[in-house]
């Protein structure tokens, strides 16, 4: 058992090296610009894809491909500095964090548009040799990656502690106004640190890409453990960020080993997914609880407050008009347009929740998406399995099911077609085949979740009654608003 643990510890050094490199890049970004750049992982992703393009498709030599990919990462870092970081120098930390999230999503979207969603195998850079450890061959590149990231962290620590550039960066991090009075340029320091962070992240993205699946999602997700490592380092210490990143990679590998144990929780014989994400979430929560008050508050010449949130004016008239138009559209539009309208309304609810939480409270959160997914899954399962859930939807679901049973009286549906055709009874299979058309109509859209052919529920009397009530309520509000304005 101990030899297996040691083996998986070594195997975890590969992903741990990339986590440590991304965490080091985050610390570099923060030291130079005061910005917690979530897009650091996306920079590593872009470097890996550029190297793949040059090495696998253009068939350039390894050294040339590696060098050009690093140049591309440096150019991307300069673009981020000039287009995003520098204009937001005097912005609030919240605005910078949202901007870094936009950087990550933009780079990831560009990668998807250029390379597609197909996973690719990145060509290796390091030697593909192995050593025998506990009787099992282990790739040497794991040790090389861990050693390289430790050397990079040690070099950065020495540079920022003993060189003039490092002292200038530390001075600007503590007080930019005093640094400017001493003749230092915060903009030049920020640009240099951004370039270094982009090159380091891109280099390790290239080195680690052959060990993991090269896709637009796989590498970007590693920003979550990298943020945990950077939090543990206080966004200042390269050594702690490196050690924490390697440790989180090893922890992830050990969880993979634990999934093969009998004591690991399972569902229908399959190990429960998401345990590693839960562990990372707990690490981040504990670190925020312990070190939340000690997080650095640097990053702007003038620390501004959040923008004012004035009281909204002229809300009633557009709300009533939009409600009436939406209700009429839900009744008269074809199914595809109604489905698109429903999805648009769901997006509006998301935007409203972000407006309340981020715009008024000043807190960045993506939890709404997860809550919406859990709520949709719960209501759909309750509606299909228990007949519960949102009352109009549940009543419409039961009505759709009753009509479906009357319109499709043959039990078995497509199963009956298969059984009767294999039995050679073509005459009896014909009506069963006709009945499957009804089943397909019922399986349209979100019928796989709710059992309804119309996700709006407007095909039932209850759904139509709800729409009529919405129209009456909107008309009442409109009349009230008109009467109040007449009195004025």
Q: What is the pLDDT of residues 14-42, one digit of tens each?
A: 888 889 999 999 998 888 877 888 889 99
Beta 270-271 vs 130-133: how paired, if at all?
unpaired
pLDDT of the residue at 53: 92
- pTM tops 0.75: no
CB atoms within 10 A of CB 154: 13
Within-domain flag for 84: yes
In the listed set 259, 294, 329, which residue is the last one of a domain according to the structure? 294
* Owner of token pair 């101990």: 2
In the listed set 243, 259, 294, which residue is the last one of a domain according to the structure? 294
Percent of the chain with pLDDT over 90: 17
Within-domain flag for 307: no
**Is pLDDT above 90 for 444?**
no
Q: Are residues 397 and 331 in the same domain?
A: yes
Kindly tell me the sign of the dihedral angle through the C-alpha atoms of 24, 28, 33, 34.
Answer: positive
Within-domain flag for 308: no
- Give the domain range for residue 397: 316-487
Within-domain flag for 151: yes
How many domains, in total, are found in the chain?
A: 2
Q: Are residues 220 and 88 in the same domain?
A: yes
Q: How far is CA 374 from CA 9, 276, 367, 369, 379, in A?
A: 34, 19, 11, 9, 9
Q: Are residues 275 and 370 in the same domain?
A: no
Token readout for 393 is 């939807």
Q: Are residues 382 and 281 in the same domain?
A: no
Bridge-partner residues for 120, per DSSP? 214
Kindly tell me the sign of the dihedral angle through the C-alpha atoms of 242, 243, 244, 245.
Answer: positive
> Rounded distance, CA 226 to CA 8, Å?
20
Q: Which range (81-90, 165-174, 426-435) has the least confidence?
A: 426-435
**Is pLDDT above 60 for 321?**
yes
Q: Are residues 272 and 338 in the same domain?
A: no
**Which are the contacts of 369, defined by CB distance < 8 A and separation ≥ 6?**
350
* Owner of token pair 């949709």: 376
Within-domain flag for 299: no
Q: Are residues 90 and 176 in the same domain?
A: yes
Q: Are residues 361 and 412 in the same domain?
A: yes
**Is pLDDT above 70 for 58?**
yes
More confident residue, 453 or 487: 487
Within-domain flag for 303: no
Q: Are residues 280 and 326 in the same domain?
A: no
- Domain of 148, CATH number, reads 1.10.3470
Contact call for residues 330 and 338 (beta carbons, < 8 A): yes
In the listed set 294, 325, 348, which residue is the last one of a domain according to the structure? 294
Residue 386 confidence class, pLDDT cut points 50, 70, 90: low
Residue 46 confidence class, pLDDT cut points 50, 70, 90: very high
Within-domain flag for 311: no
Q: Are residues 133 and 272 in the same domain?
A: yes
Q: Are residues 289 and 321 in the same domain?
A: no
**Is pLDDT above 90 for 233?**
no
E-strand spans in 115-191?
A: 130-133, 136-139
DSSP, collapsed to helix, strand or coil, labels residue 299 as coil
Residue 308 confidence class, pLDDT cut points 50, 70, 90: low
Within-domain flag for 310: no
Q: Are residues 343 and 282 in the same domain?
A: no
Q: Are residues 50 and 195 in the same domain?
A: yes
pLDDT of the residue at 440: 37
pLDDT of the residue at 485: 65
């Amino acid at each position: 058992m101990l030899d297996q643990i040691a083996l998986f510890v070594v195997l975890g050094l590969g992903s741990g090296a990339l986590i440590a490199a991304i965490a080091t890049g985050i610390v570099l970004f923060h030291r130079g610009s005061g910005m917690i750049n979530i897009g650091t992982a996306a920079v590593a992703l872009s470097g890996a894809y550029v190297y793949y393009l040059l090495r696998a498709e253009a068939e350039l030599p390894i050294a040339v491909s590696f060098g050009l990919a690093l140049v591309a990462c440096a150019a991307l870092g300069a673009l981020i500095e000039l287009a995003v970081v520098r204009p937001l120098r005097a912005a609030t930390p919240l605005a910078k964090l949202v901007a870094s999230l936009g950087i990550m999503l933009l780079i990831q979207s560009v990668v998807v548009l250029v390379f597609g969603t197909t996973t690719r195998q990145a060509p290796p850079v390091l030697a593909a040799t192995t050593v025998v450890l506990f009787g099992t061959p282990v790739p040497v590149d794991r040790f090389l990656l861990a050693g390289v990231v430790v050397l990079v962290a040690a070099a950065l620590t020495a540079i920022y502690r003993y060189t003039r550039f490092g002292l200038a960066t530390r001075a600007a991090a503590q007080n930019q106004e005093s640094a400017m009075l001493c003749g230092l340029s915060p903009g030049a320091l920020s640009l240099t640190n951004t370039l270094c962070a982009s090159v380091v992240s891109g280099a390790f993205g290239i080195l680690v890409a052959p060990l993991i699946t090269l896709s637009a999602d796989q590498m970007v997700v590693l920003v979550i453990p990298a943020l945990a490592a950077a939090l543990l380092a206080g966004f200042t210490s390269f050594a702690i960020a490196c050690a924490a990143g390697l440790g989180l990679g090893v922890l992830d590998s050990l969880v993979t080993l634990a999934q093969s144990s009998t004591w690991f929780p399972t569902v229908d014989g399959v190990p429960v997914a998401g345990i590693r994400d839960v562990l990372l979430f707990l690490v981040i929560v504990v670190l925020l609880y312990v070190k939340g008050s000690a997080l650095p508050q640097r990053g702007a010449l003038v620390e501004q407050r959040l923008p004012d949130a004035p009281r909204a004016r002229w809300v009633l008239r557009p709300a009533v008009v939009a409600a009436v138009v939406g209700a009429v559209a839900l009744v008269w539009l074809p199914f595809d347009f109604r489905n698109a309208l429903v999805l648009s309304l769901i997006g509006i609810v998301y935007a409203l929740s972000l407006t309340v939480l981020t715009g008024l409270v000043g807190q960045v959160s993506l939890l709404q998406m997860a809550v919406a997914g859990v709520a949709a899954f719960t209501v759909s399962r309750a509606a299909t399995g228990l007949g519960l859930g949102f009352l109009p939807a549940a009543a419409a679901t039961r009505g759709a099911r009753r009509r479906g049973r009357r319109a499709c009286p043959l039990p078995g549906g497509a199963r009956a077609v298969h059984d009767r055709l294999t039995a050679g009874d073509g005459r009896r299979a014909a009506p069963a085949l006709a009945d499957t058309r009804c089943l397909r109509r019922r399986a349209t859209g979100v019928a796989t979740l709710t059992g309804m052919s119309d996700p709006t529920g407007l095909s039932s009397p209850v759904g139509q009654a709800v729409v009529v009530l919405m129209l009456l309520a909107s008309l009442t509000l409109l009349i009230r608003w008109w009467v109040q304005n007449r009195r004025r």
